Chains A and B, each alone.
Chain A
């Protein structure tokens, strides 16, 4: 690889213009992706701070660090910030935004101004949410269950509800932009069958964003109206139904789980072929399983409500459908593993994250099967088992995918390599810290520890596992902070990456790093399938120094 210093004059999207205005008024999808990256990282640390306080409180059985009300706000705002302001926008709005146009050979998304608008909407929503936090916060849990949220909570439910309502439009516009872009902006020769799986998975994600998000938006507006105008939709004393809220909430929020995990699957589907030097195993099945997940994912919402008083027969139907949605996820895991068969494997940082993803997502998925099994769900529902399960999917899956993707495309985004040794170390720390944090929670849940408990002094036998979990969380925190440090360091001191340091396939690697403002000097013409790794040379061995 030629490591000739890139002449400073070479224009790319980063040095094309300077000044704050050139960022705030940009319509370049790559710059908008970076705006998102900065904003969601800030929100991640806000949510992480709340998680820290939760874990510290649970270190001892007594409720001795925070007040009960404060604790309730901490887990509520941890969930809301992480779900609505970090996980949902994370991969789509950063990596999806940056990469989808490049992967399909387009100059930008279909609606560049709408893309910028969606970031501004996100910022307004996040600003409103921060204001909600600083004016006292909200304590409804991230789920806003009525009638607690509508009639009983004395906290800032309206601000939080409106903030998430507004954030929803950001998500809808991003989804709209991706759908139109994938349909209309593909370069000549980029047929649907040649699309990188990253694009397929984001396409499925975008469909969910478009169809699901309006439902949560309206539902939260109903809660806001119930509080302000006293509508009575969810108030049983006036003929309303509090459980109706749960149906509406989960109609979005279950598919939202797939908004968070499908983009991670998108990332893993790119990394594994690259570091195996192989075409992905069963391309069509991996692509179609994304669509399958998106479709069936809309039909399983009431599996969150098996003990909420729904009818026996509807519980049976939703349990059945939930088992069905597990099949396409299993197909993906098997295909990724099979991709490594007879490959030429190297274990750079992105690959470590991808393998970590497979392992943790497998555990997350299998424990989802526990929850789909009706008799078992009755026992472990609303316990730490559920907490552990969805953190295996949301952190072990979504966050590891995000970190893996950030490392994989960092050279493309910044033009510099991150220090490989530190990268691998951080990946291992994240994996260990994560398991230590969340595995004990499966056991706690089976023992009966309900979620959202501030004080467990009557059950001191739960302390040991909680101490393990808190210890794990502090290791995990180190694993999150390390990449922050070395990636910022690499912006200035990292080695020059070159156009394609991984020798990866995909159009995004066929343009300079960092890419020019309009991605390609000439519109590329695609003549080959995705993942033609047999035609690519092996990458230069990456040195572990620094």
Chain B
């Protein structure tokens, strides 16, 4: 498409967690040198602008090039040679997108539609970092700047207009989300971990970041409890003290390997009076279960076991899938807008646009003035039109000649984009400054 525009193509070449096994992904490190890929890609004759994105789940190069076939070949060479991967293996993992397909892929990645966990938020930050790096290295130009800014606004739109990020899809997050529906605010609340498993640890991290005041850790081996308590600046207690704590804490996450119940119905029932019925949120992620399922029947006690939480996570995943469909629609829309912008980088539409705008202004002003002037003869009226038209034409003559003169230049896209901005030729160009 952009043969008319700048004879430059947009190409995205890359691999991700679905197309490439980890054995390949982990080798694409360029020996840990962050500068090296930039130096190498900059050295490729066929690459004009480029951005290099590397995360643990994907490695991608986005570029503009006058010669896609050769540029792709050279990129593959750079990756395989400096990372010691056979070309055949590497090629099998690759996807290559051109033009609006490349833009679409980038939009999808940024909106986290291409992530392992749908809707996870980190990828957008990673793309922003990659872009910052590219601007530092001055490898990004008019087209990629525009594309990346568009990408950020697409990601933002998807985030605010769809619920793709709003449902917890991990057990520990789901637990915290529930806690926030029971307690208004986790600030000032106290949580107790019984047993010190990995999931309990993860959940406590989320609890802490949501403002929980104190974490009490009870464990069979006190040593491990103390370790963990130190990590969260909390307190360690022995398993025997769990009952005393029942009246003091608000959230309990239990994950012991005990064969029987650690907390039974009567334990909880009897503390509710002392608690003045303050709500108690029990999370039992142990198998076999630690907490008597009947405790859920007590007023103001809410018990969730591992299956309940898994159920929520499954529901939320389905919910995100549904939201993803809406997100895809937004992406499609934005791809079309971007395509229009790209096409508009051609010389003819800009000149047409400029003339149209000038003519519109001229007609509007003439109409205003003529209606104020009262009765003019048709000849006089015509004279006014001729006069204004010739002023407009003379004014536009030089800019248009200038633009036409640049049309064969290699970097004409810069002039064209600039012309658009100076004359404010499309509503679209306004949103480039969004981010």
Q: Do A and B bind each other?
A: no
Binding site for A on B (CB under 8 A): none
Binding site for B on A (CB under 8 A): none
